[in-house]
Amino acid sequence: MVIRHFRADTGAELLAETRSHFAGPKTRSCKGSASASWRLEQQFRAYEGEHLYGLGQPQHGQMDLKGVSTTLLQQNAHAVIPFVLSSRGYGFLWNNPATGRAEFASNITRWTADATGGLDYWIVAGDTPADILRAYAAATGKSPEIPAWALGFWQCKLRYRTQEEVLGVAREYRRRGLPLSCIVIDFFHWTRQGDWKFHPEEWPDPAGLVRELREMGIETMVSVWPTMSASSENYRDMVDAGHLLTTERGVPAVIPFPDKDPFGAGFFTYYDAFNPDARDRHWDIVKKNYVDLGFDNFWLDACEPEMRPAHPENVRTALGNGAEMLCAYPVLHEERYRAGLRAEGRDGVLLCRSAWAGSQRHGVILWSGDVWSDWDWFRAQIPAGLHAGLSGMGWWTTDIGGFYDGHGGSEEFRELLIRWFEFGVFSPICRLHGFRVPEGVPPPEPGAKVTYGQDTFNLFTSSGGPNEVWSFGQEVEEVLTRLLSVREALRPYLERAFAHHAETGDPVMAPLFYHFPDQPALFGEGRAYMLGSALLVAPVLEPGATCLSVALPEGPRWHHVWSGDVFEGGSTAEVACPLGECPVFAREDRLDDIEAAFGALNASRRQSRKFN
């Protein structure tokens, strides 16, 4: 039997299984696995001319998933949300939290679950991509209204080591008159992995810290990992209660990672988010040591859960073998935080490194993980953010400047940082973060790869170099300061875009074809995108670029926001792109949506551009 899926109104075929030979591989096949479950393969036909999008947040840099083969396993920078949007007019959710693979070859589409108890997928039809994604949002949940402060500028680095250091940075932003909405406290502010509390010597008054920052109009976010080491004060209780992930032999599933007090080699494991009692126990500790002190916003790092090496088939959860379940770990972890915050009347947000189907309804900002500070990884962030939006995650961000290997004294890195900052300003969430090479380490020779020994480049025993907007020289500071004013001008426009996302499920940051679905030429476009319904953004993705050609969608005329020049729809605009000005166009039939910000953007061109 071959299962085929049709539109009820037109009878058009949307998706069909392959018809297998009686002696060959079956369209649906099950094999025994190491657990009591089965390894499942499901095959569908491949259609000529079909384009596919979504699947969470991949880092392969491809806008069209056709031709892509990928692992269904949550990993740092690779978030798995098994929903795919097709240009044939359907959306497909592989409703299975098992690890596995998804393959979109020219001859076949194949979904694989490494261990599962059954076949479960969901299909929806729609005339446009918006129809499909709105139906997906209605089925899996819509994002809540985002707090207005979250649309401002976020300051973050690995890592601020003390309470006084955080306050000093915040005060300096205010002294310089620079906008700052949120400052983030990274990992190792704690005593030990799994204590889930501040180190009292380094952070003597966390409640006072939150109060002073709020008096300055700045929100605070704190990083809490779902991890625990054997030296934690909570370890024995969690082990005895069966609240930790284990191997199939029953001992804790561990990965090598340092602990604190003292620093050094160590191991940690994860609490079992599939166990509701374990979720409650974890939240109770977090509530006591963070929420009750005034913290509303949490950075849920490492929530894949990250395991190195990754052997999900040797992990035991409260609901079964890890190969059956692990992809859903982040959404259960996020759900408990959201429920706990709402029970306290808090309207906080969660910054998460991973997500699954439905994560968006828990107030989750997905960020693209610990990516390298180079141009290849920067280019990959645009399709990564677009795929995330087409997977339901309208709240999205990236580490401006990249995470690894950025050297503040390198001219090459400074150019990359500015271009990434331009992209960040025109992204849903604008957040500067990274582990900059520590001060005192000489910059590399031009064109050379950044490589530093672990003794120098140690994220555990020291903080990275400075990462504030004034940390990269006066010329860079002037450019970034102007870009911050642009972000502030955009905030009313972004508030409307986020409100529309909460109401409908439409992405805040979307590929061009989402807004112009009747133009097939746009289906492969993955460099330019729409921010809200009125702004077309084309990030500058090559070093040394001074101008850029941008193919504009047909239909409305387009206003170049920096110069005011007007271009016909369907034309190619060649515009200057000096540092601090990636090409941005406002569609003429939406100028009312962007009028106030459009004036501010246009006026900002008259400010100093000495860096160029």
Residues annotated as catalytic are 301, 304, 370
Determine which helix (DSSP H) or strand (DSSP E) holds 103, and give its type and residue range: strand 100-104
- C-alpha 445/C-alpha 468 separation (Å) is 24
CA distances in angstroms from 278 to 118, 270, 285, 333, 438, listed in the order given:
27, 10, 11, 10, 38
Bridge partners for 244 per DSSP: 271
Listing DSSP states for 153-168 in one string gives EEE--TT--SHHHHHH
Classified as helix, coil or strand, 585 is strand
Listing DSSP states for 125-144 in one string gives E-SSHHHHHHHHHHHH----
- C-alpha 491/C-alpha 152 separation (Å) is 7
Contact 89, 125 (CB under 8 A): yes
- C-alpha 115/C-alpha 321 separation (Å) is 8
Q: What secondary structure letter does DSSP report for 437?
A: P
Give just the sign of the alpha carbon dihedral 306, 309, 311, 314: negative
- Residue 435 has which token pair? 């582990």
> Checking DSSP bridges between strand 364-367 and strand 350-352, what pairing results, if any?
parallel
- C-alpha 298/C-alpha 210 separation (Å) is 13
Q: Phi then psi for 271, rounded to 5 degrees?
A: -70, 155
Q: CA angle at residue 505 from 362 to 79, to 5 degrees?
A: 55
Classified as helix, coil or strand, 31 is strand
Q: Is the peptide bond before 101 cis (omega within 30 degrees of 0)?
A: no
Contact 438, 464 (CB under 8 A): yes
Torsion over CA of 50, 55, 59 and 62, rounded to 10 degrees? Answer: 10
- Residue 135 has which token pair? 């139906």
- Residue 259 has which token pair? 């602990």
Contact 39, 32 (CB under 8 A): yes
Contact 235, 227 (CB under 8 A): no
- C-alpha 502/C-alpha 141 separation (Å) is 10
Bridge partners for 548 per DSSP: 575
The amino acid that residue 495 corresponds to is E
Spatial CB neighbours of 566, under 8 Å, sequence gap ≥ 6: 557, 558, 559, 560, 588
CB burial readout 3-22, b (16+ within 10 A) else e: eeeeeeeeeeebbebbeeee
Tally of CB atoms within 10 A around 280:
13
> Checking DSSP bridges between strand 79-86 and strand 52-57, what pairing results, if any?
antiparallel
Closest CA to 17 of 29, 3, 6: 3
- C-alpha 75/C-alpha 62 separation (Å) is 18
